[in-house]
Structures are given as structure tokens and as C-alpha cells.
Chain A
Amino acid sequence: MQPRMITNKLEFSFKRFFLQWEWMLVVLLLAVIVMNVNLSEYFWDYANLRDATMGFLDKAFIVLPMVFVILLADIDISVASIVALSSVIMADLYTMGVPMPLAMIICLAVGTLCGWVNGMLIVKFKELSSVIITLATMIIYRGIAYMILEDQAAGSFPDWFSFLGWGYVGSIPFILIAFILFAVLFGVLLHKTVFGRQLYAIGNNGTAARFSGVKVDRIKIIVFTLAGLMAAVTALFLTSRMGSTRPNVATGYELDVIAMVVLGGISTSGGKGRMIGAIIAVFLIGFLRYGLGLVNVQAQVLLIIIGLLLIFAVAVPQLKRAKLPAKKM
């Protein structure tokens, strides 16, 4: 048998480059921007755009680890409860006299711990799906938050704390800078490291990954722990923006976040999709909400539109697949 030459150079192909879901998202994002500009003459104003962005970026921090979670073909619906619990504990500690910086660190630690617990439970009880486990912890974490504050609000944080959610560096919102930094960090982690590669392998074929020496359980625990940590980061920014907190904050965030990830082209069956898609989806849904809000579209109508977008996001790749001829053995 002749030895074969196998190339390891991937030639650039326009078709392959442009047939990516992310381009669809870019088109949709442009459409939303054009629509917004037409709806309101003030939209394109820099200050306005900037403030609009600040309004929807708090939950975007959870989108980043949620991409990991969904790439593993898992899901985490407890993140909103983690936001509430870590926020409430921080506020409660501060009112009890703990210095704010320490309270903030504890906030992050609580989120991390909650995420770690999720991960441990999911790895220990393999026969249970992550939906069931995080449904349970979602109820538990929220329940603890209510136990601590009993439907009261807590707040009156030091003035400097509002910088997180409201402050600017030069003329750029601090929250935007923080988001970009985290997004780059998570993007690099996913696409340029061994960890990311193994994560994709588990999402595509967990058994083959295990037989290839991938520590599947360890990666799952890390990913869920990261989700908890980033939920706590969201808690910091959200609490800063609101100036106070209650046990019912961030209700429904988990669904918003999952919607953004799915719209971003990350397949719920695992192993497919990229970080950049989810990031574009954050801005797409954010601007869509903001624009429709500008012209007083009811919140319910907004939900319907986002729902339709999601169906579109899930359906289009399916249609594409249906047209391809069935694979031969």
C-alpha cells in the first residue's frame, strides 16, 4: 500500500466561512439596530447606546459559563437563585457590620460553593439529569435567601459600591469593560486550551472522552463551579445597580441566560457552538428589548418575540440538516 499524503492545512473557503450561524446573528443584530434607529432618533446617540448596554449586561456574566454547561449537554437552572443567595448574604453581612470588600469576597465564595455543590451532585447521581438536580438546588438556594432576609430589602451600601454598576472608566461603562474581559477569558479558555477541547469532547461523546483519558467528572464539577462563581459576579453588578437587594432578585434570569446561549447557536444536545455566538446573542436580545421598550411595546409582546427568535434559532439548523442527503455508511 502506498503511503498517503494527508494535508494538515485547512484551505479558506468562503462557503464554509459564511455558512456559520454567527453570521445569521450578525444580520439579526444589524436588523435590530436598524429597527431601533428607525424607532427612535436618540438610539444611535453614544450616551444612550452606552446606558442601554449597561442595563442588560448584568446577567450576561452568567451566559459565559452557561455556554460551557450547555456544551456538556447539561443545564443549570439554579443560577438565578445563586445570584439571589449570594447577593442577600453579602447585604446581610454588610448590615451586620462586615466591611464591604470582605462581604463582596464572601459573595463570590458563596456563589462558587453553590456551583460546586451542583457539580458534585450531578457527578454523584449520574442517573439524575442536571435539570432535576439544579431544579432542586434552585428551590433550596432561593429558599435560604428568603430565610435570611424574610422578604425584606437590605442595602444602603457604601457609595463606592455603586461604581460597579454605574461607573465609567473614561467614557466606557465599567460593567462593559468587565464583561469584555471575562468574555475574552472564557472564549480563550474554551477555544484555545486543553480544558476547552476536553469539554467539547465530553459534549460530543462522553464515553469516548473517558476512554481517551479525559477526567469527565472533574471537568463537570469545574464547569458548574464556574457557573456559580459567575452568578455571584452577576450578583455584585446587579446589587450595585439596584442599590439594595431582596430575596426575589434576578427571578427568571436563568431562562433569559439559557435563551441567549441557545440563540447563540450552542446546541442543547451538546458539543456544538462557539462562545462568540452567545456573546452576539447577548447584545441581540439586549438591544431588541431596549428598542422595543423605547416605543413602549408591552413586555409580554417582547417575550413572544424572543420566543419566536428562539424557535427560529433551533429550527434553522434543523432545516439545513434535513436538506442534506442521508449519510452513507
Chain B
Amino acid sequence: MAEYILELNGITKRFPGVKALDNVYFKLRPGEIHALMGENGAGKSTFIKVITGVHSPDGGEIFFDGKKVKFDNPTDAKKLGIAAIYQHVTCYPDLSVTENIFMGHEKIGKRTKRILWYDMHKEAERLLRELGAAFSPKTLMGALSVAEQQIVEIAKALSTDAKVIIMDEPTAALSSRESEELYRIAERLRDKGTAIIFISHRFEDMYRLAGKVTVFRDSKYIGTWAVDEITNHDLIIAMVGREIHQLFPKKEAEIGEELLRVEGLGRTGYFADVSFSLKRGEIMGLTGLVGAGRSEVCQSIFGASPYDKGGIYLKGDKVNIRDPLEAMRLGIGYLPEDRQKQGLVLQWGIGRNITLSSLDKVSSKGALNAAKEAEIAKRLAEKVNVKANSIFDLASSLSGGNQQKVVFAKLLTADLDVLILDEPTKGVDVGAKSAIYEIISSLACQGYGILLVSSEMPEIIGMCDRVAVMREGRIHAFLDRQSISQEAILQASMAN
């Protein structure tokens, strides 16, 4: 057996316009738990997709058990014994545990081609016992908890004789007791010689389990350390470690009276005890790892989803917002996270998109006024500087950044005080990004109160007057302008 079960040398992967992986290295021994860490967008996901054969690399070599290999598709990787368990379990909730475990490699009679249910159930039972699970393999997958589903996913990996198991944030959705259970399973597998790549944002996981840690940043390989040789502080520097190069056109806006106050807001299963206030002219950041509950909070404030605890106050008055229309009438606007699904009617022209959220402004007694509509659409499209020739250009024909400008223009049609911007620069190229920052900054100067939800630290640091950091559905820290730093945010957003 070779020293390394899996070895990647100088892997590079390009996508149109971006290098998702730039000359990265990774070495994994049998019977080792190796943590892989980095910020959102550091290249971890692409890296996993290369290992599992989903993407083929543009450069570099992969060795499996000392032999050079090349994966053309996920099946190649699976055959060698590489299995991945993802953060959001991908399962068939209406099928039994056994069927989920053997999906794609069912045990089939040699001559009769029938499915050997008895054998499959027996084998599934054995795997589950080995992992210390108490439920029957005949249970429906959908009836299990997330933790139990993850155990099934691990059993599935074992049923294919996996030698390398990749766990992508397996503890993100687990309670600490369930995490402990998972740690025990991982250790048991390790002791049997299985190699595990463990991806997590939680330092706790890394210290508890991993022997080695590799850090990626900005698609590049930063280094590999033995876990007991690196301090928490050095690790954060390794993950963040860059000066902010981008220029943020933040102008100092005059901060006025309180516009929005949220007190003890909670939605069972999503977030709890969220309190903050937002003033006129202020840009407040809301950050935290993906899945920390940020979008859910915003959507509840906007009336797009319900909340069951706490209250929302606008200019001091308690309001009861039941749907987005009511929120907009009260002066709250929301720029959704997914502009294509939630923000735009892609089959429509720019003009119709812009006026959709304020049709009452371009109509009288319900009858549309085409001239007025064209007028307002033109004015707003020019105001946000959409790169288009006509308000009849289809929204689908625009680039991501310009689509986002159209969604901004939609917000400007209504009389709003509070703007909730959910990842406004997601998937937008650098040029359009700075244009969007300029829009945000000028809106703050015009007296809007802005809640900026973002995972991008430079954006948060460059734009916000104040930042709330969320973790697991709760606000864990407020940082003011003096104390905002990448280290501070990262520290607050990860359990420690």
C-alpha cells in the first residue's frame, strides 16, 4: 500500500472567467482524518467535485493508492472507493433506509435479475449496527432525523467499500450531542483504516477530530499543518490573511432617527431571539455563515414568511406584517437573494420588471397608464445605469450585475424607508460590484436605512456602520465600525 491513499498535485480548475482552483495540493493517508478549511468561496466545493469526479481538472495530477488516475465521471471515483456525504443530505425521503443505502448498486440475483431484498436488508442492518444506529433499515428515510439520515449516508458510503469518505459540513445541522455521535463514528472508521476528509466551519470539529488541517484561500493552497501545531489565531490568519484591495465608495451618511426595530424575533426551527435596530442613513451588516438564518430573518421582516415570536416596530409603532405588499406599503423593501427566481420575471422587458412592484404608481383606478409607465421605467433604468438600450430589452438578456441593477430600480419605485439587501453582489463581477456599492452608498446618503446581508467580508467591512454576526439562528455579536475586522467576524461566526 502506498503511503498516501489519495494525493493531489497542482490541481487547477478554471471556469469561464474565474480560476476556481489554482494549483492546490492535498495528501491523505489511510486511517487519517484530515480537515479542510477556508472561507465561503475559497474553493472547497470545487475541490470536492474534482475528487469525486464531478469536475475534471484542467491541470495537475491525482494519485489514488499510488497509481495515477483520471476521473471522467462520478462513477469512476465511486468505483475506486471515494464517497462524499454532503451537508444537505441528498436522499429519497419516500423510500426505505435499505433502498437509500443501495441506490444505484442494488444487490441483484444473478440469473433472475430480481432484487434480493432479504440480502439487502440484512446487509443494511449490519452496516447500521456497525455505526451504532438503533433504527430499522425498513424505516422510511423521511421519518428519520437529519443526524440519522447522515448515518444512513455514511452506511451508504461503507456499502460501496469506500476507502476515502468526504464529509462536507456534516455537523452544520446537528446538535452537539448528535455531533458527538458523529465524531465517534468517524473515529471508528478512522481506526479501521478509512481516510476521511472533513470539511467544517467549526473549529470545535477540527480540534476534536482531525490530525491534519489544510487551508485554502481564494482558490489557492495555503498550507497543511498538524492540528496540534497550529494556534487558533494563526489558522484564522491563514484563512483570511489578506488586505482588502477593493475600494468601497462608502460616503459618510448622516445617521438619523430609528426606522426599524426588531425585538426578540423568532421562527421555530429557523431563528430565535433576533433583536436589532436600524437608523436612517445607517448601513447595518448582517453576516454569518451560509445557513445561519440570515435570509430567513429578512424574509420574516418582509412578510414573505411568518414568524412566531417577538415583534417588529417601524418608527416606534408595532406593526403586523402579513405579506410583502403590506411590508412595502409600510416602507420596507427587500432585494431577494436569488434575483432570477425571486427578483425578476426573466421573460419580461426591463421596464415591466421595474414597475411590477409599484403598479399603483403607473395606473389610476386599476387602469394602466402606458405612457407614465414607460416614463418611470426609463427614468429609473437610467438612474441605476442598467447597460441596456431599451426598456423593452428582456431581463434574461442582461448580465448578472445588470439584472441586479434592475431589481434595485424596482425598490426605488416605491416609497420606502428601509431596504433589506440580501446578498446584493452575489455572482456579480467586480466592475458591477463597485457600481452596486455606489448605489447602496448613495441610498444611505438619501436617508434610507439599509440592512446589508452578506457573506463577503470585504463588503461587510467596507460598507457597514455596524455588523450583526449570526450563528445557528441567533445573533452572536454586534461589532461597531471600530471593531469590525475579518478576524472578529470569523471568530463570532464560528463556534469555538
> Which residue numbers of A lie inside 8 Å of B, CB to CB?
1, 3-10, 192-195, 197-198, 201, 204-205, 207-215, 271-272, 327
What CA separation (Å) do A312 and B323 show in the bound complex? 42
Q: Say whether, besides A6-B386, A193-B367, A211 and B345 are in contact (CB < 8 Å).
A: no
What CA separation (Å) do A185 and B188 show in the bound complex? 73
Q: Is the CB of A4 within 8 A of B391?
A: no
Q: Is the CB of A207 within 8 A of B382?
A: no
**Of the residues B304, B360, B382, B410, contact of A5 by C-beta under 8 Å:** B382
CB distance from B85 to the nearest CB of A (A): 29
What CA separation (Å) do A204 and B340 show in the bound complex? 12
Q: Is the CB of A197 within 8 A of B392?
A: no
> Could you say which residues of chain B place their CB within 8 Å of the CB of A6?
350, 378, 381-382, 386, 388-391
B352 at the A/B interface (Cβ < 8 Å)? yes
Q: Say whether, besides A6-B381, A6-B382, A194 and B334 are in contact (CB < 8 Å).
A: no
B375 at the A/B interface (Cβ < 8 Å)? yes
B328 at the A/B interface (Cβ < 8 Å)? yes
The digit string for B319-347, where 1 denotes a CB below 8 A from any CB of A, is 00001110110000010100001111111
State how many residues of chain B have any CB contact under 8 Å with chain A.
45
What CA separation (Å) do A198 and B352 show in the bound complex? 10
The digit string for B201-244, where 1 denotes a CB below 8 A from any CB of A, is 00000000000000000000000000000000000000000000
Q: Say whether, besides A7-B378, A192-B367, A193-B363, A212 and B388 are in contact (CB < 8 Å).
A: no
CB distance from B396 to the nearest CB of A (A): 7
B348 at the A/B interface (Cβ < 8 Å)? yes
B435 at the A/B interface (Cβ < 8 Å)? yes
> Could you say which residues of chain B place their CB within 8 Å of the CB of A195?
366
**Of the residues B324, B350, B391, B392, contact of A211 by C-beta under 8 Å:** B324
Q: Say whether, besides A6-B389, A7-B391, A8-B375, A197 and B367 are in contact (CB < 8 Å).
A: no
What CA separation (Å) do A7 and B363 show in the bound complex? 21
Q: Is the CB of A10 within 8 A of B341?
A: no
What CA separation (Å) do A214 and B410 show in the bound complex? 13
Q: Is the CB of B396 within 8 A of A194?
A: no
Q: Is the CB of A192 within 8 A of B342?
A: no
> Could you say which residues of chain A place their CB within 8 Å of the CB of B392?
10
Q: Is the CB of B343 within 8 A of A1?
A: no
Q: Which 9 A-B pairs have the closest CB atoms?
A: A213-B325, A8-B378, A8-B374, A212-B357, A194-B359, A212-B356, A204-B345, A7-B390, A8-B391
What CA separation (Å) do A9 and B348 show in the bound complex? 16
**Of the residues A4, A9, A193, A198, contact of B385 by C-beta under 8 Å:** A4
> Could you say which residues of chain A place their CB within 8 Å of the CB of B342?
207-208, 211
The digit string for B371-385, where 1 denotes a CB below 8 A from any CB of A, is 000110110011001
Q: Is the CB of B345 within 8 A of A205?
A: yes
> Could you say which residues of chain B place their CB within 8 Å of the CB of A8?
351, 374-375, 377-378, 390-391
B95 at the A/B interface (Cβ < 8 Å)? no
> Could you say which residues of chain A place their CB within 8 Å of the CB of B346?
204-205
What CA separation (Å) do A167 and B89 show in the bound complex? 67
